[in-house]
Amino acid sequence: MSIQPGTYVITNMASATNVALPTYSDVVRTAQGWQQDSSYPTQQWVVNTTGSIPGSYTLQCMDYGMYLQAESLGANKTLIGSNVPAYWRLEKQVDNSYQIVYPGSYYVAELANGSGTNATPIQLAKKDTSNSVPTGKQRWNFVKLT
């Protein structure tokens, strides 16, 4: 089953931290892993399908209305909040987690070093294809709130 539209908390499988867009700057908000508190709007994401690009999704932060986007395409490029919608593929894994894939590429969202430390950046990395189940720092659990 694919992800259905709704509001979710997105949790990293390596660290059990949530994807968040914290309020450090009014100009650029960097996507980071934070200890779980699903009551924080910075850790809540509206997930919607896109009719124009089959199989693609937008991930929009509840707190600011910003969309998850890569600053540019390439390894170690930071994920940021943007006012412009970005489209992602969500690829289901055998353990029911997902990889968040930059469309048309082999890059996925990865929690840097799989660290459980607050404010750990989330960045693009080449998709792990070494095992049938990718590394946990590249896998995400989507927990539906509404």
Which domains, ranges and CATH numbers included, belong to the chain?
6-144 (2.80.10.50)
Q: In 3D, which of 103, 62, 60, 110 has the Cα closest to residue 82?
A: 60
| Partner residues linked to 137 by β-bridges | none
- Kind of pairing between the strands at 98-101 and 88-92: antiparallel
Distance CA 76, CA 32 (A): 13
- Using an 8 Å Cβ cutoff, are 125 and 107 in contact? yes
Condensed to tens digits (0 to 9), the pLDDT of residues 84-120 reads 999 999 999 999 999 999 988 999 999 999 999 999 9
Condensed to tens digits (0 to 9), the pLDDT of residues 2-41 reads 899 999 999 999 999 999 998 765 556 899 999 988 888 9
pTM: 0.93
**Cβ within 8 Å of residue 24, ≥6 positions away:** 30
- Say what the pLDDT of residue 131 is: 80
Q: 44 pLDDT band (50/70/90 cuts)?
A: very high
